[in-house]
């Protein structure tokens, strides 16, 4: 258990940040799922639109420190390839 005031504050802050980061990650996953759903449906225009919406969300996740930049780049690359192959 934390004894110092700074350690107690750190625990409080970490809990808040974990909740915020969890929400951000959930939002990113939702956007990616929309792209995958459009891909499963075979609708290229809907998939392309969903991908256009998902790309800034992934980039924002990198900027906020929720995702590693290579992870986001890999996801965007794979989704783009799948959309193009429709």
Write the CA distances from 38 to 20, 44, 54, 80, 81, integer angstroms: 28, 7, 12, 13, 14
Residue 2 clears pLDDT 90, i.e. is over it = no
Identify the CATH class of 5-84: mainly alpha
Q: What percentage of residues in the chain have a pLDDT greater than 70?
A: 100
- Tens-place pLDDT, residues 18-45: 999 999 999 999 999 999 999 999 999 9
Given pLDDT bands bounded at 50, 70 and 90, which one contains residue 74? very high
What are the domain boundaries of the chain? Answer: 5-84
Phi and psi angles of residue 85, each rounded to the nearest 5 degrees, phi first:
-80, -5
Average pLDDT, the chain: 96
Say which DSSP state 86 is in. Answer: -
Phi and psi, residue 45, nearest 5°: -65, -40
Please report the pLDDT score of residue 18 as a whole number: 97
């Amino acid at each position: 258990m934390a004894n110092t005031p700074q350690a107690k504050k750190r625990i409080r802050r970490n809990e808040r940040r974990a909740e915020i980061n969890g929400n951000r990650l959930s939002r990113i996953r939702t956007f990616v799922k929309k792209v995958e759903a459009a891909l499963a449906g075979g609708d290229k225009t809907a998939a392309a639109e969903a991908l256009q919406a998902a790309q800034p969300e992934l980039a924002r996740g990198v900027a906020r420190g929720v995702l590693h930049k290579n992870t986001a780049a890999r996801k965007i690359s794979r989704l783009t390839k799948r959309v193009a192959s429709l």
